[in-house]
A and B are shown apart, each in its own frame.
Chain A
């Protein structure tokens, strides 16, 4: 069994509103899985179903091959988007309480907390009250509490919001380290740059339905548009440009005559890149020749927009 989590046609309705409509996902073990989608697409509802906060009206969820049940709660760690701590409780006491709720024994929880507090260099906070902490500091505590019970599956909903760039990097490294150690991670976010950096797999939810899922590299291949960005160092740019426009499908171009630089984008079928390169190498110095691969952000926007046009 290579999937940590599988959902089969999961449907959830709130009164008249359908929050999830037959969503089927397969989340491979030991990977980082990006759950993407605009606001209100159903991400949070899906995550809550995985955490057994709410239950699906139809469909089933399998955790590590078994139908999801209450024993699995201890094997899942969840960092919600709306997260907080009890303001008047002390940090250590609170972390201990939350760890015990996840089923850890008191002494074991203490040992692990000590380890994590040292690792994130916050040993001095144990006796502080939460209301004395800054938002970023509180987020660190929440992160620790989420991973403390060594869950098989971690779910992070917008994990980087509230962190400054330095601490965001620390947390990112910790997430990657957890993956190295064999944890599977679901990562829900709007921040596409972190998706590119971290996720191997993605699923895109839109209007309560899954519109796209799979390996990010393969999705990118599918969304490849065969457009190349070219920059040439050339003397008779004008005549070359005219020839090029006859022979190839140019999208846009700009010509800086003083510096002798010609930039353009061209759409080719993949096999033709040899032909144009051969042609160009005889006529000019090639400064750059790059295939423009769509970013996750482009794919996200394109998919969502095309869906809206169809509806």
Chain B
């Protein structure tokens, strides 16, 4: 009779019923959404500060350009000297005073305009004021040249060189970064999953050792069965948790947005463009459309297939190492020296991946790390959104990487099982690397 399903079931239930697991599972989305809402809310509050700005306008070029907005209102001082205007601003507790002097031309007026305030003014306030001047100057210059706004819009056309592969496929500048970012997201997910659930596997092995149940179990099932059952059961619990997180987080976020009307755009921090500049937006819209098209064209099916493949292989490799570590030690404090060498390739994969794959997905470093089995699950996924074959990852690299990964998987699981088998029955001492090596020969 196959006992693996029994073990998987027990490990899964033991994990899922654990109080801290339940709390983590249901609290995390609330915390995550809470953070997003809090940040959005705080950002809004930060901007919500009502500012009153005094305007002493002595020129003829500006009249009603300064429109009161949600956060800023303007009070016009009339027939005051600069000195008394300053005094009034301070006395009335206004945010600052904008002085627009009298001069013959708009250029001169603008050049001599000053903003006085108690402290260095906030950049949003300055940007808004500068925008008004800039817009005014822009229109003035157009007029001087005798060009209408419509005519200018025709002239002001941005140019970008089109790029394509030799096979004629159109490329989009910056899309490499976007693609690497998507792949990086998958890679990052794999890393997080390995670190969190690998740690769970390890603690579960240690628990079996410290509770001394291990020898009872091991007299009924093979150590390898127990190890694999543990790894699979724990990862199923992890997948359950991830699924609950993703579902509930998106649901919660949706609800929160619906009920509180928090504007997520606040987070995006895009500078508000002056009305006059809006016309230059259209080429960017065109880009966005292309990006969107490219985004849809990313081979999602292939990507997800390979994500699952690399995920399973990578996770099995790392979690069996975690299981071996758990078997080798008696308590969690002894695990540090063994864990660092595991986390190292993962970190390296993420950082090297982000830097080298972003700048050049087909550079030697990117290729090297996407072939090396301990980093390939992460780095190869960063490269894969570019497609396979022409313009993407060459087929030979993909095959080499998978073959290396499968080979390593078999080798590592075999080694880990050996250490596991010996380690679970060893009590009372913290082994050195040398001893671990000896165990392999038992």
Q: A residues touching B (Cβ–Cβ < 8 Å)? A: 14-15, 48, 51-53, 73, 76, 78-80, 82-89, 97-98, 100-103, 142, 145
Residues of B within 8 Å of A97, CB to CB, are: 6, 10
**B158-166, B215-223, B374-382: which lies at the interface:** B215-223
Cα A53 to Cα B10 with chains together (Å) = 21
Q: In whole Å, how far is A245's beta carbon from the nearest beta carbon of chain B?
A: 55
B interface: dominant SS: loop
Min distance, Cβ A129 to any Cβ of chain B, angstroms? 11
Judge if B212 is at the interface, Cβ distance under 8 Å. yes
Which residues of A sit under 8 angstroms from B1, Cβ to Cβ? 103
Contact yes or no, A15 B219, CB < 8 A:
no
Whether B427 sits at the interface, judged by CB under 8 Å, is yes
Whose C-beta in chain B lies nearest to the C-beta of A149?
Answer: B220
The verdict on A142 contacting B211 (CB below 8 Å), with A15-B438, A86-B14, A101-B3 known, is: no
Smallest CB gap from B223: residue in A? A53
Of the candidates B1, B14, B220, B441, the one having the most CB atoms from chain A within 10 angstroms of its own CB is B220
| B427 with A82: CB separation less than 8 A | yes
**Are B219 and A73 within 8 A (Cβ)?**
yes
Residue from B6, B18, B216, B438 within 8 A of A80 (CB atoms): B216
Q: Is there an interface contact between A85 and B219, defined as CB atoms closer than 8 Å?
A: no
B259 at the interface (CB under 8 A from A): no
Contact A82 B442 (CB under 8 A): no
Interface residues in chain B, defined as those with a beta carbon under 8 Å from any beta carbon in chain A: 1, 3, 6-7, 10, 14, 18, 207-208, 211-213, 215-221, 425, 427, 438, 441-442
Distance in Å from the Cβ of B97 to the closest Cβ of chain A? Answer: 69
* A88 vs B425: C-alpha distance when bound (angstroms): 21
Contacts beyond the supplied A80-B215, A98-B217, A98-B220: 14 A-B pairs with Cβ under 8 Å? A53-B218, A73-B219, A78-B219, A83-B213, A84-B213, A85-B211, A86-B14, A86-B211, A87-B207, A88-B18, A89-B14, A97-B6, A101-B6, A101-B7
* B219 and A14 within 8 A (CB): no
Q: Is the CB of A142 within 8 A of B220?
A: no
Closest chain B residue, CB of each to CB of A52: B219
- Decide: B220 and A73 in contact? CB cutoff 8 A: yes
Contact of A80 with B441 in the complex, beta carbons under 8 Å: no
Is there an interface contact between B220 and A102, defined as CB atoms closer than 8 Å? yes
Which chain B residues border A100 with CB–CB below 8 Å?
A: 3, 6
Query: How many angstroms from the CA of A86 to the CA of B207 in the assembled complex?
Result: 8
CA of A182 to CA of B116 in the docked complex: distance in angstroms? 103
The answer to whether B215 touches A53, judged by C-beta atoms less than 8 angstroms apart, is yes
Across-interface contacts of B425 in A (CB, < 8 A): 48, 53
Are B216 and A145 in contact (CB-based, < 8 A)?
yes
24 pairs from A and B in contact (CB 8 Å cutoff): A48-B425, A52-B219, A53-B215, A53-B218, A53-B219, A78-B216, A78-B219, A79-B216, A82-B215, A84-B212, A84-B213, A85-B213, A85-B216, A86-B14, A86-B211, A86-B213, A87-B207, A87-B211, A88-B14, A88-B18, A101-B6, A101-B220, A101-B221, A102-B220
A142: B residues at CB distance < 8 A: 216
Q: B6 near A15 (CB under 8 angstroms)? A: no
Asked if B10 and A82 make an inter-chain contact with CB atoms under 8 angstroms apart, the answer reads no
- Listed from nearest, the 4 A-B pairs whose CB atoms lie closest are A84-B212, A80-B215, A101-B220, A84-B211
- The smallest C-beta distance from A185 to any residue of chain B, in angstroms, reads 16
Q: Which of B207, B208, B442 contacts A14 (CB 8 A)?
A: B442
Residue of B nearest to A82 (CB): B212
Give, as a whole number of angstroms, the nearest-CB distance from A180 to chain B: 25
By a CB distance below 8 angstroms, the chain A residues around B208 are: 86
The distance in angstroms between the C-alpha atoms of A86 and B209, with both chains bound, is: 10
Kindly state the separation between the CA atoms of A98 and B211 in the bound complex, as whole angstroms. Answer: 15
Q: How far is the CB of A17 from chain B (nearest CB, A)?
A: 10
A83: contacting residue among B3, B6, B216, B441, CB under 8 A:
B216
Q: Are B220 and A83 in contact (CB under 8 A)?
A: no
Q: How far is the CA of A146 from the CA of B438 in the complex (A)?
A: 33
- Is the Cβ of B14 less than 8 Å from the Cβ of A83? no
Q: List B contacts of A87 (CB < 8 A).
A: 207, 211
Q: Could you tell me the distance in whole angstroms from the C-beta of A232 to the nearest C-beta in chain B?
A: 55
C-alpha gap A73/B219 in the complex (Å): 7
What residues on B are CB-neighbors of A48 within 8 Å?
425
Q: Which residues of the other chain, B, contact A85 by a CB distance below 8 angstroms?
A: 211, 213, 216
Residues of B within 8 A of A80 (CB): 212, 215-216, 219
A79 to B, closest residue via Cβ? B216
Report Cα–Cα, A52/B218, bound state, in Å.
9
Taking the closest CB of chain B, its distance from the CB of A159, in whole angstroms, is 13
- Report A-chain residues with C-beta under 8 Å of the C-beta of B220: 73, 98, 101-102
Give the complex CA separation of A101 and B5 in angstroms: 10
Q: Which of A52, A82, A83, A101 has the most CB of B within 10 A?
A: A101
Q: Looking at A48, A73, A86, which has the most chain B CB atoms within 10 Å of its CB?
A: A86
- B442 with A101: CB separation less than 8 A: no
The residues of A that contact B216 with a CB separation of less than 8 Å are 78-80, 83-85, 98, 142, 145
Is A15 a contact partner of B442 (Cβ separation < 8 A)? yes
> Which chain B residue has the least Cβ–Cβ distance from A57?
B442
Given the complex of chains A and B, what is the CA–CA distance between A48 and B424 in angstroms?
13
In whole Å, how far is B49's beta carbon from the nearest beta carbon of chain A? 52
In the complex formed, the residue of A with least CB distance to B441 is A15
Assess the A83–B215 pair: CB atoms within 8 A: yes
Q: Which chain B positions have C-beta within 8 A of A78? A: 215-216, 219
CA–CA, A76 and B425, complex, Å: 19
Report the nearest B residue to A15, measured CB to CB.
B438
Query: Which residue in chain B gives the minimum CB-CB distance to A145?
Result: B216
Query: Bound state CA distance, A100 and B441, in angstroms?
Result: 33
- Complex: how many Å from CA A89 to CA B1? 24
Taken together as a complex, chains A and B put the C-alpha atoms of A80 and B427 apart, in Å, by 14
Shortest Cβ distance from residue A161 to the other chain B in the assembled complex, whole angstroms: 12
Question: What's the minimum C-beta distance from A110 to chain B, rounded to whole angstroms?
Answer: 15
Contact yes or no, B219 A51, CB < 8 A: yes
Residue of B with least CB distance to A102: B220
Report Cα–Cα, A79/B215, bound state, in Å. 9
A157 nearest in chain B by CB position: B215
CB-CB < 8 A to B14: which residues of A? 86, 88-89
Distance of A6 Cα from B24 Cα, bound (Å): 53
